[in-house]
Amino acid sequence: MDRLATVRGFLLDMDGTVYLSDRLLPGTAAFLDYTRRAGIRVLFLTNNSSRHAAHYAEKIAAMGLEVTPEQILTSGEATARYLQRRAPGSRVAVFGTPSLEEEFRQHGFTLDMKDPAYVVLGFDQTIDYAKLTLLCDLVRAGLPYIATHPDFNCPTATGFIPDIGAIIAFVEASTGRRPDAVIGKPNRPIIEMAADRLQLPVELLCMVGDRLYTDVAMGQAAPIKTVLVLSGETKPPDLAESPFQPDYVCADLAHLTARLTAAPARPDPDGGAATADRPTQRDRSADR
């Protein structure tokens, strides 16, 4: 039986999967139409912590798709919720955009760059040497250090720009420390929050995204099923060398939708959903 037959919820990456910069990638509208007709829930799940969910909802709406903020979970929101459960109302040094700072304020935290109890590192294109120096000082002092996500690069329409993973490496080179916790994909905290948002068991979810070490790695961390799309960061040679192997590989969401709609529908106990065709090596090995 196809491994996607029991999927009741898709976790859909955004940068490199749904769009690049302000350009909608092929097949996004058709994929969302398919999931609506099949009764499958969708949650947009992004490791980009530079903006809040409302911003992404507006961005996607400008591309012609209706999405609410409740349908979007960012690593920034997930990090604020993670810390809120452990240390509500704490003083936090947030190294990120004004949107990420506001996310933490809305979750009841006090922003404090001089005497914080926690250090949070998010994606920030305005980071400068002074900020990097302060970040390293606080990490070197032994404060609890949390990163919103681990991505090394952020895809754009013209190529890639360095993401938070590069800053994590910078801080490690200077201080000898890595984050005490990384919240975004492929780590367990954001998977559990996504399952809660969709009100589905983790095992009924499938991650669709363009990065092997975050999106596809969730297949091992959860575990859940995964579909790799080649519309963003990952290219075919990367797949051959990676320890993270997806259940399926598609060129983009248009290709995935074509495979889903072409396969014969086989209902699961909660109602049917058509599934994709040929599995990857990981899929064949898992079924042996």
Measure Cα distances from 158 to 21, 22, 42 in Å.
Answer: 9, 11, 28
Determine the Cα–Cα distance for residues 101 and 98; give it in Å rounded to an integer: 5
127: CB partners within 8 A, 6+ apart? 95, 167
Measure Cα distances from 130 to 133, 205, 257 in Å.
Answer: 5, 42, 47
Three-state SS string over 72-90 comes to EEEHHHHHHHHHHHHCCCC
Q: Is 207 helix (H, G, I), strand (E, B) or coil?
A: strand
Of the given ranges (36-50, 58-72, 244-258, 266-280), which has the lowest mean pLDDT? 266-280
Band of residue 2 on the pLDDT scale cut at 50, 70, 90 = low
Report pLDDT digits (tens) over 150-174: 989 887 778 888 999 999 999 999 9
Determine the Cα–Cα distance for residues 153 and 150; give it in Å rounded to an integer: 9
Spell out the domain ranges in the chain: 9-47+185-287, 85-182
Question: Averaged over 209-231, what is the pLDDT?
Answer: 92
Helices assigned H by DSSP within 39-157: 53-62, 75-86, 98-106, 129-140
pTM comes to: 0.84
- Per-residue pLDDT at 256: 94
Residue predicted with more confidence, 15 or 1: 15
Determine the Cα–Cα distance for residues 191 and 9; give it in Å rounded to an integer: 12
- Per-residue pLDDT at 272: 40
- In the chain, the amino acid numbered 194 is A
**117, pLDDT greater than 60:** yes
List, as one string, the DSSP characters of 247-259.
SEEESSHHHHHHH
**Radius of gyration, CA atoms only, the chain:** 19
- Per-residue pLDDT at 4: 82
Report pLDDT digits (tens) over 85-101: 999 999 999 999 999 99
Helices assigned H by DSSP within 203-280: 218-221, 236-241, 253-262
**127, pLDDT greater than 70:** yes
Beta strand 153-156 with 159-162 is antiparallel
Residue predicted with more confidence, 39 or 281: 39
Report pLDDT digits (tens) over 22-76: 889 989 999 999 999 999 999 999 998 999 999 999 999 999 998 999 999 999 9
**Do the domains 85-182 and 9-47+185-287 match in fold?**
yes
Domain 9-47+185-287, CATH among 3.40.50.300, 3.40.50.620, 3.90.550.10, 3.40.50.1000: 3.40.50.1000
Question: Averaged over 109-127, what is the pLDDT?
Answer: 95
* Superfamily of the domain at 85-182: HAD superfamily/HAD-like (3.40.50.1000)
Residue in the structure block whose two tokens are 């042996």: 288
Phi, psi of 229 (to 5 degrees): -105, 145
